Amino acid sequence: MSQVATQIEENNPLVIKLQNGQTLHVESNEAIDANEIPIIDVAGIYSDKLADRQDIADKIREAAHRIGFFYVVNHGFDSKLADGVFEQARRFFALPLEKKMEVDTNLVPKEYVGYHALASYNRNGRKHHDLSEAFNLAYSAEQDPENPENDPGTSIWPSDLPGFKEAMYAYHTPMLQFARKMTRIFALALHLPETYFDEWTKRPEAGLRILHYPEQDASVDDQNGIGAHTDFECFTIVNQDMSGGLEVLGKSGRWIRAKPVPNSFVVNIADCFMRQTNDYFVSTVHRVINKSGKERYSIPFFYGLDRKMPMLPISSCISDENPAKYPVMTAGEYYLWRAKKAKQGDKADEE
């Protein structure tokens, strides 16, 4: 769900063409350490005082505009739930391939759910395919305490893996509640009423993914864990293990290591927010290179607004001098196009 297939421009490995239309230049394929990704204490989002919530929103506004990535700490999330999902990830990816292929994502061609097989994508046209595999689940009204609908959603589930679905939604449900709260903080960050997006968070786009990255032997020039991409909802909340490997493309054109911070989430802006904010929020390109010497696991939660929502430009982000840059479409139209592109690459445009 939310990975954007990319292709390196022929004969120039330092130019990346993204399927959201961007073309980016990188200085080097090697990453550096840099103190550019802020760590934000978000305990104040639970405060009854608007001033406390606005203080957090102001910090998030700066990070979302400058680099599009930030860590959050003191988020109030039970770490045992994440431990349970990491364990389920190890169980699932240890299954024989034929069992995992029972839930092959191609069984649901229009949705980004199910199993994405190891080395099935080559987002940056490297010598070797991306060294990762994934399983995605989608929003389910049945699992949402704020939605009375009896709708299981579009997810598909492996057989003979007791407790898997239950553990995944045990994490998904409180993460959904956290994302809704963060959406209100983003509204404040955009100088909007705190409830501005509430109408569109009742049935959101909310996909959970587990990812497995085997140890990577090939060079960074020849292979990625996941190639350079942007996500395509509003924002992503990532729980990564302590292996490292997540890298963010800074405005300088250098890859920056997003080193694991204990008890934190990594939050990044995705393309729907970039479009609605007229590029004020930055949907930053990122990738994973697993050179840790061990297997890596991560749990991204991809959050967007109701598919019926028209992606109108945010009023505080446009002016006569800075008119809207993007045509208006619904969040669902954009999501489905991007999901199809991510799964099928350029073939999606040929149909």
Give 53-74 pLDDT, tens digit per residue. 999 999 999 999 999 999 999 9
Q: Beta-strand (E) ranges in 91-146?
A: 114-116, 133-137
Convert the pLDDT of each residue in 204-229 to its tens digit. 999 999 999 999 999 888 888 998 89
In a domain, 350, yes or no: no
Tell me, yes or no, whether 246 lies in a domain. Answer: yes
For 271, list phi and psi in degrees, rounded to 5.
Answer: -70, -30
Residue 110 banded pLDDT, cuts 50, 70, 90: confident
Dist CA 18 CA 211 (whole Å): 21
User: Region 160-174: what's the mean pLDDT?
Assistant: 96
Provide the whole-model pTM: 0.92
Q: For residue 218, what are the CA distances in angstroms to 10, 116, 204, 243, 334?
A: 21, 21, 39, 17, 35
Let me know if residue 40 belongs to a domain.
yes
Structural domain of 313 = 6-344
The pLDDT value recorded for residue 255 is 94
Paired with 40 in beta bridges are 72
CATH number at residue 151: 2.60.120.330
Residue 208 is assigned to a structural domain of this protein: yes
Contact 306, 273 (CB under 8 A): no
Q: What is the pLDDT of residue 345?
A: 60
Give the pLDDT confidence of 276-315 residue by residue, as tens digits. Answer: 999 999 999 999 999 999 999 999 999 999 999 999 999 9
Task: Please provide the DSSP assignment of 293-326 as one string.
Answer: SS-EEEEEEEEE--TT-B-PPPGGG--SSS---S
The two three-digit tokens of residue 102, written as one number? 């029972």
Q: Closest Cα to residue 246, out of 186, 300, 301?
A: 300
Pairing mode, if any, of strands 226-229 and 235-240? unpaired
The pLDDT mean for the chain works out to 91
Between CA 124 and CA 131, with CA 130 as vertex, the angle to 5 degrees is 160
Is 1 inside any structural domain?
Answer: no
Residue 349 included in any domain? no
Q: Is residue 35 part of a domain?
A: yes
pLDDT in tens, 233-246: 999 999 999 999 99
In a domain, 351, yes or no: no
Burial 175-195 (b: 16+ CB within 10 A, else e): bbebbbbbbbbbbbbbebebe
Average pLDDT over residues 38-47: 98
Predicted confidence at residue 221, as pLDDT, reads 83
Most confident segment among 6-10, 121-125, 326-330: 326-330
Count of the separate structural domains present in the chain: 1
Question: Quick one: pLDDT at residue 126?
Answer: 79
So what's the pLDDT on residue 13? 67
> Measured between alpha carbons, how far is 133 from 226 in angstroms, rounded to an integer?
9
Q: The tokens 């786009």 sit on which residue?
A: 205
